[in-house]
Amino acid sequence: MVFFKRNKKIKTHTIDPDEIFMDTLNVSGLNTQQFEGVIEKSINKKIATWAGGIFILIGILFIAQLVRLQVIRGNEYLTRSQTNRLHSTPIFADRGVIYDRNNKELAWNVASPDGDPFSVRSYINAGGFAHLIGYVGYPTKDSSGFFWQNAIIGKSGVEEKLNNILSGVNGQKIVEIDAQQHVISENLVTPPKQGQNVVLTIDAGIQGALYSAIQKLALEKGFLGGAGAIMNIKTGEIIAITSYPEYDLNILSHGNDVATIDGYATDPRHVYLDRAVSGLFTPGSTVKPYEAIGALNEGLITPQTTVDSTGSVSIPNPYDPSKSQVFHDWEPHGNGITDVYSAIANSVNTFFYAIGGGYKNQQGLGISGIDNYINMFDIGQKTGIDIDGEVSGNIPSPTWKAKVFPTDPTWRLGDTYNSAIGQFGFQVTVVQMLRAVSAMASNGTLVQPYVTLYPKAQVSAPQQIPGIDPKWYAVLHTAMRQTVTSGTAVAINVPYVHAAAKTGTAQVGPNNSLENSWSTGFWPVENPQYAFVVVMDQAKSTNETGATYVMRDVFDWINTNEPQYFQVSSNSNNP
């Protein structure tokens, strides 16, 4: 049988154009937002693998960062978050009050007039205390309003020297603030501890009187400045110590008056210089008592020895022996016959040329002998006073000359003569001369001066100058008393106290056109209790009114206001 295969005819359908238009109109109502009616195509496996890997990596990094923030550094960020809203604020401690020996306030605390959260210093309204007391610097804020310097700091004087005692310890409080910096709450953590009070050896009344007298003389006679000090010779307690001119403590503490502060720095009177401990001055004739006691002690003279003092001495000129080099006295004295008493009382230069360097038949100490006795009284050496800024001085010697004048190093007789009257390289301070004249008054006992009574300054024990016969001190006491009764210090020859003194005038400046004036001494001469020194700095050499007039004003003030300083008993150290 033969089978025949029928070819099945494949039917085809042609798309009618109307159907196309019907699809575009979405007649069947497909949801195109859900991609109905869209032909789907599978994503490539390679792309899917890469995309999955990226998502997994991002997830791992996210988890790692989460672990780092929450686990590893969680405490750190917690602290930061708390700090952002909890601030530690200092509660400022008041500084200790500074009193004088009679419990008079010299520096104390008052509320800040500017509303600051700390007290500010108020100082005694009297001249003469600036260099001694000093000033402070106040706490300072940064641009965000937080204190970067959170303490009141002493900058000079007692405020600086005893800053650790006066400053106390700040307290602390925690302040909670919101994002707008509003205070939500405050909590006290530690209360402040006030600084310790300090009592000075100073008598404020005498200090003010001394300063006023120095200021008065400086203004009237044209002195550049001046300084003075008074000390108890038994204890070393400084009763007064002051320097003129001085600065305003409040201006320096606040630091706002820039013009005045700049003026202090450029003032030719050297306002910032504490002349009492940091000023170096040529002592002039104030060194003569120490040379006189040396000549007596060495047997070169006796109290009855006389020297022909006619107004000058002449020695061969070292550069031309055919000519004489003349060393003049400041004036002729009496009939020219001078002993140690009149030489001290009238400050006779020619007498000290002779006993210092030798002249004719009178043997002298020589420069080594002068230096020896000057050094015995610690002149030119620091006293150790508890005030910052003390400097040492200089005593002329051949070694010093060779160093300072290398082109003319040879020491000559004329150098000894000039040294014997307190010139030629002598440089001393007020407190050095105060200690020296105190030792002269106390028959050779050197005490260390100090200004802090409580808590008491650490001072060395008194030391006795060795090798000087006490009877020579009595000679000098008599001579220095004559200086007051009939010599160069008659300005303090008052009936209410018997003082002893030695004055000095030192030529300084270009061509010796200026002079310093000194007055040193002690009272009462019968039983010495107090020593004093005043120096007036640089007036014209024509001036005839010297430092002793300062002490006359001070004596008058003491007699009127605190006469107990003139009424001391034999066994009393303090009034």
With bands split at pLDDT 50, 70 and 90, how would you rate the model's confidence at 554? Answer: very high
296 touches 475 (CB < 8 A)? yes
Q: Confidence class of residue 322 from pLDDT cuts 50, 70 and 90?
A: confident
Mean predicted confidence (pLDDT) in 132-144 = 88
pLDDT at 74: 67
Q: What is the mean pLDDT of residues 15-27?
A: 55
pLDDT of residue 5: 47
Indicate the domain borders of the chain: 88-196, 204-566
Count of other CB atoms within 10 angstroms of residue 490:
14
The whole-angstrom separation of Cα 430 and Cα 433 is 5
Instruction: Read off the pLDDT of each residue in 160-169 and give the average, rounded to a whole number.
Output: 95
Residues 434-441 have a mean pLDDT of 98
Task: Check residue 236 and give its pLDDT.
Answer: 97
pLDDT digits (tens, 9 = 90+) for 526-540: 999 999 999 999 888
Is pLDDT above 90 for 37? no
Mean pLDDT of 139-158: 85
Average pLDDT, the chain: 88
Query: With bands split at pLDDT 50, 70 and 90, how would you rate the model's confidence at 32?
Result: low
Q: Do domains 88-196 and 204-566 have the same CATH topology?
A: no
Q: Is the pLDDT of residue 19 over 60?
A: no
Mean pLDDT for 246-258 is 91
Nearest to 397 by CA among 381, 378, 418: 418
Q: Is the pLDDT of residue 1 over 90?
A: no
Residue 4: what pLDDT?
A: 43
**Is the omega angle on the peptide bond into residue 90 within 30 degrees of 0, that is, cis?**
no
Query: How far is Cα of residue 141 from the mean position of the Cα atoms in its chain?
Result: 26
Question: Buried b vs exposed e over 89-124: b needs ≥16 C-beta within 10 Å?
Answer: bbebbbbbbbbbbeeeebbbbeeeeeeeebbbbebb
Q: What was the pLDDT predicted at 328? A: 80
CATH of 88-196, one of 2.40.70.10, 3.40.47.10, 3.90.1310.10, 3.40.50.970: 3.90.1310.10
Greater confidence (61 vs 290) lies with: 290
Query: For residue 226, what are the contacts with CB-CB under 8 A and spacing of at least 6?
Result: 214, 215, 217, 218, 243, 244, 275, 534, 535, 536, 537, 547, 550
Q: Please tell me the predicted confidence (pLDDT) of residue 229.
A: 98
198 forms beta bridges with: 98
- Secondary structure class of 569 (helix, strand, coil): coil
Encode pLDDT of 329-384 as tens digits.
Answer: 877 665 678 999 999 999 999 999 999 999 989 999 999 999 999 999 999 999 99
Q: Indicate the CATH number of 204-566 among 3.40.710.10, 3.40.190.80, 3.40.50.300, 3.40.50.2300.
A: 3.40.710.10
Q: What is the DSSP string of 450-470?
A: B-EEETTP--PPPEEPTT--H
The Cβ of residue 179 has, within 10 Å, a number of other Cβ atoms equal to 7
Q: Does residue 77 carry a pLDDT above 80?
A: no
Is the CB of residue 501 less than 8 Å from the CB of residue 520? yes
